[in-house]
């Protein structure tokens, strides 16, 4: 069986065509170099002798190398976003699932979220604001996106072993997409996440904290008129449980000076992930 082997010498990678065979006398497999192909980045499948080009391992190697080239990857992502948008508009969940699966096999779920889906969500928002798509179509798109996020969570192979996190919104908030993205990213890193739906009464949120025992609570606020409701929720959680709380959302950007909490500005998802793993997690807010 022939395959490709990469060997690093002084920081430079070189590619070899290698054949594996069974040594009956020593009762073990041995590898024999068939051909030195050259510096890895310069090698193409045409450099491989014809009799070995149909090998699945060799074909897969060059296919993946092609996909990971920046120019090809960017073109691939742009085409995928266009195709996904078409599927979202018509509510074609099956086709969207298929495209997610094909992309994930090469780049992974994390790349799909950061490079494909989140920028596409921004584009859909811009299309709605410019009235290039109507509200009904925009809602259909968001429903399809939430369905994809659910699929990513369900197919995530990481066994929950880190923090327990509760995500909720104050009374008056109706958004779900932002909290679903946050839930997905946190779950993919091995955290147990309880994402409560909008309109969950504060009393039930408190019961969930009592029952599930989260290590910290995320409160998401998008509308300025719900700031007071969020502050009352923070006060109740602090009074009864004293848990670390992270408050985020567009509304917090406009009100960051009026919280009786330390403000953690511009916390990215990676920083949040690092923060919640810290034993020194404190009560903060983030915009």
Q: What domains, with CATH codes, occur in the chain?
A: 2-50 (no CATH), 70-155 (1.10.1240.10), 164-286 (3.40.50.280)
Q: pLDDT above 90 covers what percent of the chain?
A: 39
Q: Is the pLDDT of residue 123 over 70?
A: yes
Across residues 217-236, what is the average pLDDT? 90
255 pLDDT tier (thresholds 50, 70, 90): low
Across residues 53-67, what is the average pLDDT? 75
Contact 208, 166 (CB under 8 A): yes
Q: Is the pLDDT of residue 280 over 60?
A: no
Q: What is the pLDDT of residue 287?
A: 47
Q: Is the pLDDT of residue 73 over 60?
A: yes
Q: Is the pLDDT of residue 124 over 90?
A: yes
Q: What is the pLDDT of residue 278?
A: 66
Model pTM? 0.71
Q: Is the pLDDT of residue 157 over 70?
A: no
Residue by residue, DSSP assigns 107-169 as H-HHHIIIIIIHHHHHHHHHHHHTTSS-HHHHHHHHHHHHHHHHHHHHH--PPP-S-EEEEE-
Beta bridge partners of 169: none
User: Minimum mean pLDDT among 3-17, 28-42, 245-259: which range?
Assistant: 245-259
Q: What is the pLDDT of residue 5?
A: 87
* pLDDT tens profile 13-30: 898 998 888 777 777 777
245-248 vs 262-264, strand pairing mode:
unpaired
For 39, how many CA atoms within 13 A lie in the half-sphere containing its CB?
5
74 pLDDT tier (thresholds 50, 70, 90): confident
Across residues 211-231, what is the average pLDDT? 90
12-23 vs 28-39, strand pairing mode:
antiparallel
């Amino acid at each position: 069986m022939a395959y490709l082997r990469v060997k690093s010498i002084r920081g430079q990678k070189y590619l070899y065509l290698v054949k594996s065979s069974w040594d009956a006398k020593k009762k073990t497999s041995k590898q024999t170099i068939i051909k030195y192909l050259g510096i890895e980045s310069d090698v193409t499948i045409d450099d491989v002798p014809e009799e070995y080009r149909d090998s699945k391992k060799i074909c897969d190697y060059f296919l993946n190398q092609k996909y990971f080239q920046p120019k090809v990857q960017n073109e691939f992502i742009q085409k995928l976003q266009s195709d996904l948008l078409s599927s979202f508009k018509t509510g074609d969940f099956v086709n969207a699932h298929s495209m997610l699966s094909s992309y994930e096999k090469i780049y992974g779920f994390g790349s799909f979220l950061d490079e494909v889906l989140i920028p596409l969500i921004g584009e859909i928002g811009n299309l709605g604001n410019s009235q290039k798509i109507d509200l009904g179509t925009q809602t259909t798109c968001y429903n399809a996106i939430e369905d994809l996020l659910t699929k990513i969570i369900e197919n995530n192979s990481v066994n929950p072993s880190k923090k327990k996190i509760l995500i909720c919104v104050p009374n008056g908030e109706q958004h779900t997409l932002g909290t679903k993205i946050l839930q997905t990213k946190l779950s993919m890193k091995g955290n147990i996440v309880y994402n409560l739906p909008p309109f969950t009464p504060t009393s039930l949120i408190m019961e969930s904290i009592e029952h599930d025992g989260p290590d910290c609570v995320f409160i998401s606020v998008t509308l300025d008129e719900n700031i007071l409701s969020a502050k009352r929720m923070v006060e109740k959680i602090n009074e009864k449980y004293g848990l670390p709380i992270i408050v985020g959302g567009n509304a917090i950007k406009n009100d960051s000076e009026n919280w009786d909490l330390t403000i953690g500005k511009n916390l990215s998802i990676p920083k949040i992930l690092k923060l919640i793993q810290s034993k020194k997690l404190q009560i903060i807010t983030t915009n």
